[in-house]
Chains A and B, each alone.
Chain A
Protein backbone atom coordinates (compact mmCIF):
# COMPACT_ATOMS: atom_id res chain seq x y z
CA UNK A 1 0.00 0.00 0.00
CA UNK A 2 1.11 3.56 -0.56
CA UNK A 3 2.33 5.30 2.55
CA UNK A 4 1.52 8.71 3.94
CA UNK A 5 2.60 11.34 1.43
CA UNK A 6 3.66 14.81 2.47
CA UNK A 7 4.81 17.79 0.49
CA UNK A 8 6.93 19.76 0.26
CA UNK A 9 9.94 18.02 1.77
CA UNK A 10 11.69 21.26 2.57
CA UNK A 11 10.52 24.85 2.76
CA UNK A 12 12.45 28.02 3.47
CA UNK A 13 10.52 31.24 3.94
CA UNK A 14 11.02 34.65 5.47
CA UNK A 15 9.22 35.53 8.66
CA UNK A 16 5.73 36.97 8.25
CA UNK A 17 5.22 34.98 5.04
CA UNK A 18 2.53 32.31 4.75
CA UNK A 19 3.28 28.64 4.24
CA UNK A 20 1.18 25.53 3.65
CA UNK A 21 1.85 21.83 4.03
CA UNK A 22 -0.08 19.06 2.38
CA UNK A 23 -0.71 15.50 3.51
CA UNK A 24 -2.32 12.51 1.83
CA UNK A 25 -2.96 9.71 4.34
CA UNK A 26 -3.09 6.00 3.71
CA UNK A 27 -6.31 5.02 2.00
CA UNK A 28 -8.93 3.94 4.52
CA UNK A 29 -7.27 5.61 7.49
CA UNK A 30 -9.87 7.66 9.30
CA UNK A 31 -7.58 9.34 11.80
CA UNK A 32 -5.09 11.97 10.68
CA UNK A 33 -2.56 13.80 12.83
CA UNK A 34 -0.35 16.83 12.37
CA UNK A 35 2.69 16.97 14.62
CA UNK A 36 5.46 19.49 15.06
CA UNK A 37 8.88 18.21 16.02
CA UNK A 38 11.73 20.39 17.20
CA UNK A 39 15.29 19.18 16.96
CA UNK A 40 16.11 16.55 19.57
CA UNK A 41 12.57 16.35 20.88
CA UNK A 42 9.57 14.11 20.49
CA UNK A 43 6.60 15.00 18.31
CA UNK A 44 4.11 17.53 19.63
CA UNK A 45 0.52 17.08 18.52
CA UNK A 46 -0.98 20.08 16.75
CA UNK A 47 -4.29 18.62 15.62
CA UNK A 48 -6.06 15.29 15.23
CA UNK A 49 -8.87 14.56 12.81
CA UNK A 50 -11.42 11.78 12.89
CA UNK A 51 -12.61 11.79 9.29
CA UNK A 52 -13.27 15.47 8.54
CA UNK A 53 -13.80 16.52 12.14
CA UNK A 54 -11.02 18.09 14.19
CA UNK A 55 -11.41 16.28 17.52
CA UNK A 56 -8.29 17.58 19.25
CA UNK A 57 -6.83 20.95 18.33
CA UNK A 58 -6.04 22.12 21.84
CA UNK A 59 -2.33 22.56 21.04
CA UNK A 60 -2.84 24.34 17.73
CA UNK A 61 -1.84 28.05 17.93
CA UNK A 62 -5.05 29.23 16.35
CA UNK A 63 -3.95 32.83 15.94
CA UNK A 64 -1.62 31.81 13.14
CA UNK A 65 -2.17 28.13 12.41
CA UNK A 66 -5.11 26.63 10.57
CA UNK A 67 -5.85 23.20 9.21
CA UNK A 68 -8.48 21.52 7.16
CA UNK A 69 -9.37 18.05 6.03
CA UNK A 70 -12.01 18.40 3.40
CA UNK A 71 -13.90 15.20 2.55
CA UNK A 72 -12.01 13.39 5.27
CA UNK A 73 -9.01 12.49 3.10
CA UNK A 74 -6.24 14.98 2.27
CA UNK A 75 -5.29 17.61 4.78
CA UNK A 76 -3.58 20.98 4.66
CA UNK A 77 -1.83 22.77 7.49
CA UNK A 78 -1.23 26.49 7.09
CA UNK A 79 0.81 29.03 9.01
CA UNK A 80 0.15 32.72 8.47
CA UNK A 81 2.21 34.65 9.29
CA UNK A 82 5.22 32.47 10.06
CA UNK A 83 7.53 33.33 12.93
CA UNK A 84 11.15 32.36 13.55
CA UNK A 85 10.03 29.95 16.28
CA UNK A 86 7.97 27.98 13.78
CA UNK A 87 11.13 26.47 12.32
CA UNK A 88 10.70 22.73 12.87
CA UNK A 89 9.77 19.50 11.13
CA UNK A 90 6.05 19.10 10.52
CA UNK A 91 4.94 15.50 10.48
CA UNK A 92 1.69 14.08 9.21
CA UNK A 93 0.51 10.67 10.34
CA UNK A 94 -2.56 8.54 9.84
CA UNK A 95 -4.06 5.50 11.50
CA UNK A 96 -6.95 3.17 10.79
CA UNK A 97 -8.61 4.28 14.00
CA UNK A 98 -7.59 5.82 17.23
CA UNK A 99 -5.16 3.65 19.24
CA UNK A 100 -4.05 1.86 16.07
CA UNK A 101 -0.37 2.27 15.19
CA UNK A 102 0.46 5.52 13.41
CA UNK A 103 1.96 5.62 9.94
CA UNK A 104 4.05 8.70 9.30
CA UNK A 105 5.03 10.66 6.25
CA UNK A 106 8.56 11.91 5.63
CA UNK A 107 7.79 15.28 7.13
CA UNK A 108 8.39 18.82 5.96
CA UNK A 109 11.37 20.69 7.32
CA UNK A 110 10.42 24.33 7.65
CA UNK A 111 13.06 27.02 8.06
CA UNK A 112 11.89 30.54 8.82
CA UNK A 113 14.54 33.22 8.31
Chain B
Protein backbone atom coordinates (compact mmCIF):
# COMPACT_ATOMS: atom_id res chain seq x y z
CA UNK B 1 0.00 0.00 0.00
CA UNK B 2 1.10 3.51 -0.73
CA UNK B 3 2.15 5.66 2.20
CA UNK B 4 3.32 9.23 2.62
CA UNK B 5 5.57 10.25 5.50
CA UNK B 6 6.34 13.74 6.70
CA UNK B 7 8.91 13.30 9.44
CA UNK B 8 8.92 16.89 10.67
CA UNK B 9 5.82 17.72 12.75
CA UNK B 10 7.02 21.31 13.09
CA UNK B 11 9.64 23.53 11.50
CA UNK B 12 10.61 27.13 12.15
CA UNK B 13 12.56 29.57 10.03
CA UNK B 14 13.61 33.17 10.24
CA UNK B 15 11.83 35.52 7.89
CA UNK B 16 13.70 35.87 4.57
CA UNK B 17 15.60 32.63 5.13
CA UNK B 18 15.20 29.34 3.28
CA UNK B 19 13.53 26.24 4.70
CA UNK B 20 13.10 22.72 3.38
CA UNK B 21 10.21 20.44 4.32
CA UNK B 22 10.70 16.71 3.91
CA UNK B 23 8.38 14.14 2.39
CA UNK B 24 8.97 10.51 1.55
CA UNK B 25 6.56 8.06 0.03
CA UNK B 26 6.31 4.41 -0.74
CA UNK B 27 4.87 3.01 -3.93
CA UNK B 28 5.46 0.30 -6.48
CA UNK B 29 3.96 2.40 -9.27
CA UNK B 30 6.07 4.22 -11.85
CA UNK B 31 3.54 6.81 -12.92
CA UNK B 32 1.98 9.07 -10.31
CA UNK B 33 1.64 12.66 -9.14
CA UNK B 34 2.96 14.41 -6.08
CA UNK B 35 1.60 17.58 -4.51
CA UNK B 36 2.35 20.04 -1.77
CA UNK B 37 -0.64 21.79 -0.24
CA UNK B 38 -0.65 24.65 2.23
CA UNK B 39 -3.32 25.09 4.90
CA UNK B 40 -3.23 28.42 6.77
CA UNK B 41 -5.32 29.02 9.89
CA UNK B 42 -8.20 30.06 7.64
CA UNK B 43 -8.48 26.30 6.92
CA UNK B 44 -8.61 26.49 3.13
CA UNK B 45 -6.23 24.00 1.57
CA UNK B 46 -4.27 25.63 -1.25
CA UNK B 47 -2.17 23.89 -3.89
CA UNK B 48 1.45 25.03 -3.70
CA UNK B 49 3.16 22.89 -6.29
CA UNK B 50 2.68 19.73 -8.37
CA UNK B 51 5.14 17.21 -9.79
CA UNK B 52 4.49 14.50 -12.37
CA UNK B 53 6.64 11.45 -11.70
CA UNK B 54 7.56 11.00 -15.36
CA UNK B 55 9.17 14.44 -15.41
CA UNK B 56 12.78 14.55 -14.28
CA UNK B 57 12.83 18.31 -14.01
CA UNK B 58 11.94 19.63 -10.58
CA UNK B 59 8.83 21.80 -10.45
CA UNK B 60 9.12 25.43 -9.37
CA UNK B 61 6.54 28.08 -8.53
CA UNK B 62 8.10 31.43 -7.70
CA UNK B 63 9.70 31.04 -4.24
CA UNK B 64 8.63 27.38 -3.99
CA UNK B 65 10.57 24.54 -5.53
CA UNK B 66 10.82 20.81 -5.03
CA UNK B 67 13.64 18.31 -4.96
CA UNK B 68 12.14 15.21 -6.51
CA UNK B 69 14.26 12.09 -6.13
CA UNK B 70 12.26 9.30 -7.74
CA UNK B 71 14.65 6.47 -6.91
CA UNK B 72 14.81 7.54 -3.29
CA UNK B 73 11.04 8.24 -3.24
CA UNK B 74 11.67 11.64 -1.79
CA UNK B 75 9.79 14.87 -2.54
CA UNK B 76 10.98 17.81 -0.44
CA UNK B 77 9.68 21.37 -0.65
CA UNK B 78 12.04 24.33 -0.51
CA UNK B 79 10.69 27.75 0.38
CA UNK B 80 13.06 30.58 -0.40
CA UNK B 81 12.89 34.08 1.11
CA UNK B 82 10.33 32.95 3.70
CA UNK B 83 7.54 35.40 4.39
CA UNK B 84 5.17 35.73 7.34
CA UNK B 85 2.33 34.68 5.07
CA UNK B 86 4.01 31.31 4.52
CA UNK B 87 3.14 30.27 8.06
CA UNK B 88 0.77 27.31 7.73
CA UNK B 89 0.45 23.55 7.81
CA UNK B 90 2.04 21.96 4.76
CA UNK B 91 0.80 18.63 3.49
CA UNK B 92 2.52 16.35 1.03
CA UNK B 93 0.23 14.14 -1.06
CA UNK B 94 0.67 11.27 -3.51
CA UNK B 95 -1.83 10.46 -6.23
CA UNK B 96 -2.29 7.46 -8.49
CA UNK B 97 -6.02 6.70 -8.60
CA UNK B 98 -5.91 7.17 -4.86
CA UNK B 99 -4.85 10.31 -3.05
CA UNK B 100 -2.68 9.63 -0.02
CA UNK B 101 -1.88 12.42 2.44
CA UNK B 102 0.99 12.93 4.83
CA UNK B 103 0.35 14.03 8.41
CA UNK B 104 1.56 17.55 7.75
CA UNK B 105 4.34 19.87 8.90
CA UNK B 106 3.58 23.04 10.80
CA UNK B 107 5.76 25.88 9.51
CA UNK B 108 6.46 28.79 11.83
CA UNK B 109 7.98 31.98 10.49
CA UNK B 110 9.97 34.05 12.98
CA UNK B 111 9.94 37.81 12.29
Which A residues have a C-beta under 8 Å from some C-beta of B?
33, 40-43, 45, 56, 89, 91, 93, 98-99, 101-107, 109
Pair A89/B43 contact, Cβ less than 8 Å: yes
CB neighbours of B44 from chain A (8 A):
104-107
Residue in B43, B46, B47, B97 whose beta carbon sits within 8 Å of that of A107 in the complex: B43
Chain B residues, Cβ within 8 Å of A104: 44-46
Chain B residues engaging chain A, CB cutoff 8 angstroms: 33, 35, 37, 42-47, 50, 91, 95-99, 101-104
B96: chain A residues within 8 A (beta carbon): 99
Bound form: Cα–Cα A103–B99 in Å: 13
Besides the contacts A102-B37, A109-B43, what 8 more A-B pairs have beta carbons closer than 8 Å? A33-B99, A42-B91, A89-B43, A91-B43, A99-B33, A99-B96, A102-B47, A102-B99
**Docked complex Cα distance between A41 and B97 (Å):** 22
Contacts A42-B102, A42-B103; A99 near B43 (Cβ below 8 A): no
A101 contacts B97, C-beta separation under 8 Å = no
Least Cβ–Cβ distance between B104 and chain A, in angstroms: 5
Q: Which residue of A lies closest to B97 (CB)?
A: A98
Residue of B with least CB distance to A45? B99
- Closest 8 A-B residue pairs measured CB to CB? A42-B101, A104-B45, A107-B43, A101-B47, A106-B44, A99-B95, A42-B103, A42-B104
In Å, the complex CA distance between A99 and B95 comes to 6
B92 to chain A, nearest CB (A): 9
Q: Which residue of chain A is the closest to B50 with respect to CB atoms?
A: A101
A101 to B35, CA, bound (A): 8
A43 touching B50 by the CB < 8 A rule? no
Provide 8 A-B residue pairs closer than 8 Å at the C-beta atoms, listed in order of the A residue: A98-B97, A99-B95, A101-B47, A102-B35, A102-B99, A105-B44, A106-B42, A106-B43
